[in-house]
Structure 1
Amino acid sequence: MIDKNSPIPIYYQLEAEIKQLIEGKKLKPGDMIPSEREYSERFNISRMTVRQAINNLVKDGYLVRQRGKGTFVAEEKLEQKLQGLTSFTEDMQARGLVPTTRLLEFSLMDPPADVRNQLQLDRGENVFKMERVRLADGIPMALESSYVPQQILGDIKEETVRHSLYQYIEHTLQLDIGQGTQVLEASVARKRESEILEIKEGAPVLLMKRYTRLKNGQPFEVVKSIYRADRYKFIINIHR
């Protein structure tokens, strides 16, 4: 309920009211919320106040606007904890979702200088480059570009990289994956990325760069992933 005598701003009260309905599952992902006019009439408040509350909920990812249709409850974001080193396939399977991969590029190449340095390769040593769209239940979640030394993957086939690369390395090659370093940044989708991920150009995305080693200390992977910020969030537990 809206209390006009409260020192708490009315727009904030309306935000809290809508947020409570979403978090309490009374408004579910995909549900259309009432219009600004309906909220204005229901609570006898100005449409400008309603618009401010809804704008804030859109910015916070609770709501999404669809031009010409209305405002809807956003799909729930998938959560990934940053403590463990897991593959996209393992993450999705743990959530009961079906992971699939659309392969955009699979090539053997001379790596860029920065990749060569990170993988500690000599000149003339090649890497496999894999650019893959990672999907969950058919929805594109991330665009991933990976570089892995040829000396590690050997004669890997294109069909293999359509699935979990980590499972292939551990189960087929019998190599132990050790540790990785991840850097997470905020970014925006460029034209190509927006088309592939089915989001608007300029939409917020999460840019993750990872550098991974085997247990014996040998570098084996450099990867850059672009995640949809409207469908994904990263979580880290910290202790004092």
Structure 2
Amino acid sequence: MKIPKYVQIKNTIFNEIQNKKYNDSIESERDLSKRLNASRMTVRKAIDELVKEGYLYREKNKGTFISDKSLWKKNTLVDDEQSENIEYRIVNFDIKYSSSQEVLNHLNIDDTDSSTIIRAIRLVLKDKRPQNIEEFYILRSYIDEKDINKFDKLLDLKTYLEDSTMTQRYIPMILDPKYAAALKLPIGTPIIMVEGTVKSKNGTPYIYYKSYNNPKEKVLEMTI
């Protein structure tokens, strides 16, 4: 069976970045298109795949860069504090200058603000069973540049709470259809979504977080 062109290009790019360093840039889509004799759409699809798999990341108006290679082996992260059977799979990661009005409201910024927002979406599994999907929206100005692609540190809320506070809300809702397949739940399943905001000592919100929890797997507990 013939290998699709975008897969060939994806493999070519992957092989070429093996000897490059974290945060090194790759060629532009235009240059890759010319060199590899392919349309920009095909090149973009190949790069999109590598971004989704965690090998590359994009910065708006700057380019595409190589992710932290320590995360390449399985593109999953293990939280040693919880269990060796817990896996974190990065579903989406990007750095951008705008977001939905909901996110802007929770971070107390507007669409004219020049703040860069890091967005990460990850699937949490235990013993290979999907537990929840998490969305993170983080103001880049609060993050150390060297930690941008160290997902285990970047997405560990506990590390922020040493000098910040977090408020949470538990919201009954119908599961967003886009996450039904990942959580292996029927469309229309009732769930509890946990929504959180992390604020600095001076009360400035800099992380907005949502967790869509699988009611068949994850039990939410509160101690009052």
Question: What is the 5 A alignment of 1:213-232?
Answer: 213-232=199-218
Partner Cα distance (1:177, 1:139) in 2? 33
Equivalent pairs, count = 145
Partner Cα distance (2:155, 2:127) in 1? 20
Partner Cα distance (1:116, 1:154) in 2? 21
Q: Which amino acid aligns with 1:150?
A: R
Deviation, 1:223, is: 1.0
CA offset digits 1:104-143 (Å, max 9, x no partner): 1111121333322322346111100111111122221111
Q: Which amino acid aligns with 1:129?
A: R
Deviation, 1:185, is: 1.6
Question: What is the 5 A alignment of 1:1-240?
Answer: 93-94=81-82, 96=83, 98-109=85-96, 110-121=98-109, 123-155=113-145, 159-161=149-151, 163-165=152-154, 167=156, 170=159, 176-238=162-224
CA spacing shift, 1:169–1:237, aligned 2, 3 Å: closer
Instruction: Mark the structure with the bigger radius of gyration.
Output: 1
CA spacing shift, 1:230–1:168, aligned 2, 3 Å: closer
- What TM-score results when the alignment is normalised by the length of structure 1? 0.51
Q: Which amino acid aligns with 1:191?
A: P
The structure 1 segments of at least 4 consecutive aligned residues displaced by more than 6 Å after TM superposition are none
CA spacing shift, 1:156–1:112, aligned 2, 3 Å: farther
Structure 2 unaligned runs (5+)? Answer: 1-77
User: What's the secondary structure of 1:128's corresponding residue?
Assistant: strand
CA spacing shift, 1:148–1:121, aligned 2, 3 Å: same
Partner Cα distance (1:156, 1:205) in 2? 36
Deviation, 1:99, is: 2.2
Partner Cα distance (1:190, 1:116) in 2? 20
Instruction: Calculate the aligned-residue CA RMSD, in Å.
Output: 3.0
CA offset digits 1:161-187 (Å, max 9, x no partner): 2x24355983xxx88342211111222
User: What's the secondary structure of 1:148's corresponding residue?
Assistant: strand
User: What's the secondary structure of 1:195's corresponding residue?
Assistant: helix
Deviation, 1:208, is: 1.2
Deviation, 1:157, is: 5.9
Partner Cα distance (1:232, 1:194) in 2? 15
Partner Cα distance (2:149, 2:141) in 1? 19
For the Cα contact (< 8 Å) 2:130–2:217, is it kept in 1?
no
Deviation, 1:216, is: 4.4
CA spacing shift, 1:125–1:159, aligned 2, 3 Å: closer
Structure 1 unaligned runs (5+)? Answer: 1-88
Partner Cα distance (1:139, 1:164) in 2? 23
CA spacing shift, 1:138–1:215, aligned 2, 3 Å: farther
Q: Which amino acid aligns with 2:168?
A: Q
- What TM-score results when the alignment is normalised by the length of structure 2? 0.55
